[in-house]
């Protein structure tokens, strides 16, 4: 994330990667947040934030997970493993905090550990600000521009694994295994089954349609809901509020990712 003046924000975004589009929004009581999507098949996006005041942000449930690194106003460092979630998550933002992190797709997992164990978790990692411990391995805390490098290092060192079959299934491709076997692999890699992932994606798809001006009933139909009431129930369950209220929010629960 970035500083609170638009001038310095533009400068930081350019320095981060001049060729990659950066999405960002400003929330008066929160400070700046920005992200850019990654070219890597094993990384969804890189994000950064600078918090200008105490606030609470509701993040919609999603199958993605990741690593976050931060420094608070007192200069104390922290590192965190953020698991996937199947319910909205309330994030407490503190004045002076600076955070940067990477979000990973569902088919990337921690070796030797089922992602289901991380569902809904925000697990602190041991760190001194220069190094952090993950999966029994000591790694250098990455600068914002090196977040993708640390993920590739963790995959190369065997700390993280990649399930290509799950990746193919999530991309809508056919997979040469039984439905039961695919479900088992998906739960291990993603922490939830394909049906739940589809529910999360359907809500995000509906939000995108609504954001682009489609009316509620049409968005519900296009996204695959039974009707508008069904869509509203799923928004409330997975994003914490109705579609109408979310669209009116200054920092909607879907704003932290594409």
Q: Where are the domains of the chain?
A: 6-159
Query: pLDDT averaged over the chain?
Result: 88
CA atoms within 13 A on the CB side of 208: 10
The alpha carbons of the chain give a radius of gyration, in whole angstroms, of: 18
Q: How confident is the model at residue 15, as a pLDDT?
A: 31
Strand 98-104 to strand 45-51: parallel, antiparallel, or no bridges (unpaired)? Answer: antiparallel
pLDDT-derived band of residue 114, with 50, 70 and 90 as boundaries?
confident
Q: How confident is the model at residue 164, as a pLDDT?
A: 96
Q: Is the pLDDT of residue 17 over 90?
A: no
Tens of pLDDT, residues 139-171: 999 999 999 999 999 999 999 999 999 999 999
Q: Is the pLDDT of residue 3 over 50?
A: no
What is the C-alpha to C-alpha distance for residues 110 and 162, in angstroms, rounded to an integer?
Answer: 9
> Are 116 and 105 contacting, i.e. CB atoms less than 8 angstroms apart?
no
How many Å separate Cα 189 from the centre of its chain?
A: 16
Give this prediction's pTM.
Answer: 0.85
């Amino acid at each position: 994330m970035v500083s609170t003046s638009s001038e310095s924000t533009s400068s930081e975004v350019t320095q981060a990667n001049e060729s990659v589009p950066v999405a960002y929004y400003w929330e008066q009581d929160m400070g700046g947040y920005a992200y850019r999507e990654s070219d890597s098949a094993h990384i969804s996006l890189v994000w950064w934030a600078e918090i200008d005041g105490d606030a609470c942000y509701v993040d919609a449930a999603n199958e993605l997970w990741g690593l976050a690194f931060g420094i608070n106003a007192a200069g104390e460092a922290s590192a965190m493993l953020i698991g996937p979630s199947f319910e909205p998550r309330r994030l407490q933002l503190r004045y002076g905090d600076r955070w940067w992190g990477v979000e990973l797709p569902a088919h990337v997992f921690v070796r030797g550990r089922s992602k289901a164990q991380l569902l809904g978790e925000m697990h602190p990692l041991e760190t001194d600000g220069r190094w952090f411990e993950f999966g029994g391995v000591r790694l250098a805390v990455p600068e914002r521009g090196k977040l993708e490098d640390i993920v590739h290092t963790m995959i190369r060192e065997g700390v993280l694994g990649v399930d290509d079959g799950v990746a193919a299934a999530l991309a809508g491709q056919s997979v040469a295994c039984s439905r039961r076997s695919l479900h088992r692999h998906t739960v291990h890699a993603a922490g939830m089954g394909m049906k739940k992932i589809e529910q999360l994606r359907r809500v995000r798809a509906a939000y995108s349609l609504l954001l682009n001006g489609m009316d509620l009933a049409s968005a519900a139909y296009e996204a695959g809901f039974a009707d508008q009431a069904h869509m509203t129930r799923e928004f409330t369950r997975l994003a914490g509020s109705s579609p109408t209220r979310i669209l009116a929010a200054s920092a909607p629960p879907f704003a932290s990712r594409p």
